[in-house]
Amino acid sequence: MTNTASLLVDLQNDPCKGGDLEVLDSESVISTANNVIAYCQQQNIVIIASQD
């Protein structure tokens, strides 16, 4: 038996475009996270998200 979960740790807006710590191509990180979340929801995979 295997147990699977997706763990998202403290995603923030600061590195995104217009944020205080903007980094190049940061939108791809958010896009990827959104794709992973959607996939997990479709597959009934547990999603664990933390926020500091």
Q: State pLDDT tens for residues 1-52.
A: 478 999 988 888 888 888 899 988 888 888 898 999 999 999 999 999 887 7
Tally the C-alpha atoms within 13 A of residue 37's C-alpha that lie toward its C-beta: 11
Residues 4 and 45 sit within 8 Å (Cβ to Cβ): yes
Residue among 4, 6, 8 nearest 50 (CA): 8
Domains identified in the chain, total number: 1
- Give the model's pLDDT for residue 13: 83
Q: Which domain holds residue 46?
A: 5-50
Quote the CA–CA distance of 29 and 9 in Å, as a whole number.
13
